[in-house]
Amino acid sequence: MTDSKITSKEAIMLVVTIFVSHTIVTLPQNLLSNTKSATLINLIYVGIIAILLAYVIYRLLKNFASLDIIDISQYLGGNVLKSIVGGIFIAYFIVTSSNLLREFCEGLRVAFFPMTNILSILVPFILVLFITNYLSFSSNVKTISLIFPLVLISIVFLFFGNFGNFSFERMFPVLGKGFADTFITGIGNIFAFSGISCLYFIPPYLKEPNQMKKICLSSVIIGLMYFLFCTATILLLFSFFVDVDEVLPLYSAASYIEFGIFFQRLESFFMLIWILEIGSYLIVTNRFSISIFQKITNLKFHKPLAMIFPLLIFGIALLPKNYSIIRFLESNIYAYFIIAIVFVFGIAILFLANLKKRKEKRVKPQKIQ
């Protein structure tokens, strides 16, 4: 089922990688346009909810040892439900990663390759997926573990490098668009924690499944801290980040970092790190998609699928005609898509499976492990 196992630290980095990659494109700006000056308060609020949800997921997964949501759905509703759940999660991973890839590549084209066709910019990322699919999962995760600290440092550096330009008054008015928009409809900002979806799939890969609680909570807390750094950089730096849409807001923020006349134009360095981060994200989602497909089709080996899923991502990434469609999907559709699949559907499956297990325990306790 799994080609190799990963440690709990590697698992935390893997989950946070999914959180982080969306911040490189327009996630912080989407959060800011929803809750304006109250975004930091809102993030803490939805972060606490996300921590609670991560804990709930841990409790629901606990009863199934090293099974992932696909195995659990098989237990709950047989092969039919397994195929439905698998299909939905494959669609989720493929569509979100395609859109993220396209959005990031559009930014790369604007900033660095104005004369290059978007197709050519997408191709190197797809090649990375071809190659990594032939390697073991643990070697993929080890690579991610090397890249992830660099990404984290880059964001902390971005925050402190721009610290002199910050206006802390931009955190006011404290309630932003209002109490309801911050604390009631603002719950919608929980889509930022879409990386929680990985928690459904990592149990079979863990060397120490008993560390699941630590993985669930630590990854969401680190992700929250990371979001706070990113959003604070954009909120406190300049007002136009809140009012005007930027293709890559963090890239623009990086262009303001200057240390005298010697250290300028650091944004290219940041971009290099972020390219690696997007590659890491694609590796994770692609591997999970392949793993799900393997399970629902009962395939023994994953290598025959090594080219199919990257090509699928590539094809879907090419579908949007222009950038406005990508932004529309990112800011209006995917938020609901993520909430529905990750936070409602996923938890509902686990909850029902737990109910079934409890019921079975009561009826035939001797048959249940």
Partner 1 sequence: MKHLLKVVCFVIIFVILTVSFSNSYTRVNLDNIAVVVAMGIDKGENNKLKVCFQFTNPSSISESGSSETASTILKSVDASSISSAINSMNSYLGKELTLAHCKLVVFSEELAKEGISDIIYTLMNDAQTRPSCNIVISKCTAEHYINNSKPFLEPLISKYYELFISSNQFTGYTSNATLGKFFDNMICQSCDPYAILGGINLQLPDSSQDALTNKETSDKSNSASLSGNTVSENVGLAVFREGALVGELNAIETLAFMCIGNEVKGFLISVPNPQVENQNVDVYLTPKANTKIDVSLVNGSPYITVDCKYCGQIYSMTNDSNYLDSEILSRISESCNRYLEYIFTEYLYKTAKEYKSDINAIGKNSLKLFSTIDEYETYGWREHYQDSFFDVSAQVNVRSSSLLSDS
Residue type, 152: L
Reading the block at residue 125, the tokens are 């990322």
Least distance from partner 1 to the Cβ atom of residue 318, Å: 15
Q: List, in order, residues 6 or more apart from 277 with CB less than 8 Å away.
A: 17, 20, 21, 24, 147, 148, 151
Choose which of 160, 163, 172, 336 interacts with partner 1 (CB under 8 A): 172
Residue 22 makes contact with partner 1 by CB under 8 A: no
Residue 302 makes contact with partner 1 by CB under 8 A: no
Chain residues 195-254 in contact with partner 1, contact rule CB under 8 A: 238-240, 243-244, 252
Comparing CB distances to partner 1, the nearer of 171 and 225 is 171
Distance CA 236, CA 165 (A): 8
Residue whose token pair is 């390697």: 135
Residues binding partner 1: number (CB under 8 A):
37
Q: List, in order, residues 6 or more apart from 35 with CB less than 8 Å away.
A: 42, 176, 177, 181, 182, 186, 189
Distance CA 46, CA 133 (A): 35
Residue 187 makes contact with partner 1 by CB under 8 A: no
Comparing CB distances to partner 1, the nearer of 158 and 342 is 158
Choose which of 44, 174, 325, 333 interacts with partner 1 (CB under 8 A): 174
CB 54 within 8 A of CB 219: yes
Comparing CB distances to partner 1, the nearer of 186 and 346 is 186
Look at residues 266, 267, 152, 276 and name the one whose alpha carbon lies nearest to residue 219: 152
Residue 83 makes contact with partner 1 by CB under 8 A: no
Q: CB neighbours (10 Å) of residue 237?
A: 22
Reading the block at residue 81, the tokens are 């439900």
Comparing CB distances to partner 1, the nearer of 1 and 119 is 119
Least distance from partner 1 to the Cβ atom of residue 127, Å: 6
> In this chain, which stretch among 3-11, 84-92, 112-120, 193-201 interacts with partner 1, using CB under 8 A?
112-120
Give me the residues that bind partner 1 (CB under 8 A), please: 36-37, 110-117, 119-120, 123-124, 127, 167, 169-170, 172-178, 238-240, 243-244, 252, 255-256, 258, 261, 264-265
